[in-house]
Amino acid sequence: MKNYLHILIKGAFVLFLIAYLTVLYTSDSAKNVPMEQIAQTMEQDSDITSLNKEARSDLKHYYQTDDRNIDGYFFYKAASPMAVEEICIMKATDNTQANTLLENANAHLSGQKQVFEGYGTDQMALLNNAVVGKKGNYVYYMCGADAQNWRTAFLSMI
């Protein structure tokens, strides 16, 4: 009887471990959605389209990456240098590159906070609520009053 109990406990533990590892492995995966489809969906939000669509030189300036090295990007930023509203979604070619892009996005957020610290109270409030993250090979930086909604909309696509 004790022998069966040990086997049952070990079996339950192995099943739990397999389930846990499966959840862990799939938690960072994302569907392979073309950037054009993401752009089309995100551009339905008038708060995003009221921002300026940025060029590839701006992507290099703010995120230290060249659009020729990634699978695509979606980048809108406020026209005024005193505004921090911004949305950038980049699709990396692999996980290693995605981690580098995530570091660059976090560095951009830190840089923005240093610029506005001490005098830009409205900007700092938005920056403190900005969302930066990675899901699969996608990296996102979203700062604005609707940043959480943008994140939810984006993550629901992938």
pLDDT digits (tens, 9 = 90+) for 91-147: 999 989 999 999 999 999 999 999 999 888 899 999 999 999 999 999 999 999 999
Q: Is the pLDDT of residue 153 over 90?
A: yes
pTM of the prediction?
0.82
Pairing between strand 72-77 and 52-53?
A: antiparallel
Distances (CA, A) of 134 to 51, 119, 151: 23, 30, 11
| Whole-angstrom distance, CA of residue 146 vs CA of residue 31 | 24
Pairing of strands 131-135, 86-91: unpaired
Looking from the CA of 137 toward its CB, the CA atoms found within 13 Å total: 16
Whole-number Å distance between alpha carbons of 73 and 59: 9
Model confidence over 54-104: pLDDT tens digits? 998 999 999 999 888 899 999 999 999 999 999 999 999 998 999 999 999
Q: What is the per-residue pLDDT across 37-57, written as a single tens digit (0 to 9) for each?
A: 999 999 999 999 999 999 989
